A and B are shown apart, each in its own frame.
Chain A
């Protein structure tokens, strides 16, 4: 009999043929959780589950910070959250305009979605393009995903969601608008993609100097725990120093290489400093950063 159930289960699975994300919310505090995204690039295998998504359960509702890279991911986190609490997900924050942080929006029909004005506009203008690009990379998991832009503009320094208060920090550097959220009650800092924990930083829209300034500001916050955009949650502020050191290394390497007239592949062949040995994705992210950023450094030289 058990075998028959198994058969039926397998059969129904093969009909629905839906990509299954392995989503296990990690508990940080009694009412604060996050879903850990894989430290990988988008692939058909991970279905685009590569960024962290956090949620806070309040007295009457749930606050969700970022929504992942597809409607399907959004639906499956909604399902995973419903196993912990029956309270509705009323509030969503999109920290910035990268596709691994907002494309799950369309799974949430009755929520208010908040983002900065810049992030909202970027999502409206380039959302479709992100879907087209991701369709090639992650395939089935992103099918049916539609752009759903935020309907609320963030501009206050404090949010009050049914009596639950959160501090909002308007920073930049990873993109032109990165929003970090600080929960004073739990002392958890939701750092968005301003912080990568032992996962090499992604720089497609980065401004290195502004990013370093934002990291310094985050370091001044009296947090006990922080959920980075990528990598595991951490307590130790040395993670922020590692991020600053990496950005400085990238900046100096590109400056010196431009002075010496190196080509891109000569830079990629330089020895990697030991301190970054334990960073995941070093080779691929460093390559992407050098290819994207080096031409501007070459320009500045003349």
Chain B
């Protein structure tokens, strides 16, 4: 009988643990409704690995890393922050990509970072991690757009492919100011869409915002090995920058 009580006790603990937001914030409920538009989600820090600096010294370049590969057949990966003036960071449709992602972001103040991963049963898994910082990142205008030569480099793309056991890691960067438009006297100017293709098959497509740092750097990982990649970056001024790499 004692064992049964213990069992009930343990189950109830685990249920509470699953239902509780590990990082409470007044913004979260509104944000989550506006983005996933449903209540079918679970807090799942166990299956989503999120890495951020211990202290984000430089608020305009905060590296973040996400690994949600424990969630099988993930379909979509969304990143948001609770306290940035623009909460959305990126929304990736993971056709042939694993839920692994890394980039640098700007933060206006210390904030929880939320990783939303949609599984094949249409349940959203939410990972949370706090970023500690003094902030200020969204109030600072792009450094490179003040550089007179930046137009010569605008849209310059770098791609590298690294083979892993069963997959390929993609590292790519592009020269772009990613201007937020939040600073008086500046106009927003940023990459808002990226597509990744191999042999003309779509690996993933994504929409992103000016929360991503200037001269953005990205890491993705494919579900299967690839030997060529075409990447397209589209910005809000209608530019389409692209580059192809073959091994």
Q: Given known contacts A261-B171, A291-B53, A291-B58, what 7 new A-B pairs fall within 8 Å (CB)? A: A133-B134, A136-B134, A137-B134, A264-B63, A284-B54, A291-B63, A302-B160
Check: B150 CB closer than 8 A to any chain A CB: no
Interface size on A, residues (CB 8 A): 20
Q: Which residues of A contact B9 (CB under 8 A)?
A: none
A135, closest chain B residue (CB): B134
A41 to B171 CA separation, bound complex (whole angstroms): 33
A263 to B164 CA separation, bound complex (whole angstroms): 14
A264 to B52 CA separation, bound complex (whole angstroms): 10
Check: A287 CB closer than 8 A to any chain B CB: yes
Q: Which residues of A contact B169 (CB under 8 A)?
A: 261
A298 to B218 CA separation, bound complex (whole angstroms): 12
CB within 8 Å of A: which B172-201 residues: 173
Give the Cβ gap from A16 to chain B, nearest Cβ, in Å. 27
- Kindly supply a per-residue 1/0 record for chain A positions 254-277, scoring 1 wherever the CB is within 8 Å of any chain B CB and 0 otherwise: 000000110111000000000000
Give the Cβ gap from B120 to chain A, nearest Cβ, in Å. 27
Q: Which residues of B contact A263 (CB under 8 A)?
A: 63, 65, 102, 219
Check: B125 CB closer than 8 A to any chain A CB: no
* Cβ 8 A contact of A298, one of B61, B134, B173: B173
A295, closest chain B residue (CB): B217
Interface size on B, residues (CB 8 A): 20
B170, closest chain A residue (CB): A261
A137 to B162 CA separation, bound complex (whole angstroms): 40
Q: Are B54 and A283 touching (Cβ within 8 A)?
A: yes
Main secondary structure of the interface of B (DSSP, over half): strand
Q: Which residues of B contact A152 (CB under 8 A)?
A: none
Main secondary structure of the interface of A (DSSP, over half): helix
A263 to B218 CA separation, bound complex (whole angstroms): 10
B103, closest chain A residue (CB): A263
Q: Which residues of A contact B160 (CB under 8 A)?
A: 261, 301-302
Binding site for A on B (CB under 8 A): 51, 53-55, 57-58, 61, 63, 65, 102, 134, 158, 160, 162, 169, 171, 173, 215, 217, 219
Binding site for B on A (CB under 8 A): 41, 133, 136-137, 260-261, 263-265, 283-284, 287-288, 291-292, 295, 298-299, 301-302
Contact A287/B54 with A264-B63, A298-B171 known, Cβ cut-off 8 Å: yes
Q: Which residues of B contact A291 (CB under 8 A)?
A: 53, 57-58, 61, 63
Q: Are B58 and A302 touching (Cβ within 8 A)?
A: no
Highest count of chain B CB atoms <10 Å: which of A265, A292, A295: A265
A302 to B158 CA separation, bound complex (whole angstroms): 7
Q: Are B53 and A287 touching (Cβ within 8 A)?
A: yes
Q: Which residues of A contact B173 (CB under 8 A)?
A: 298-299
* Cβ 8 A contact of A261, one of B51, B134, B162: B162
Between A and B, 16 residue pairs with Cβ closer than 8 Å are A137-B134, A261-B169, A263-B65, A264-B65, A264-B102, A265-B63, A283-B54, A284-B55, A287-B54, A291-B63, A295-B217, A298-B171, A299-B158, A299-B173, A301-B160, A302-B160
A290, closest chain B residue (CB): B63
The 8 closest A-B pairs by CB, nearest first: A261-B162, A136-B134, A265-B51, A264-B63, A265-B65, A263-B102, A302-B158, A263-B219
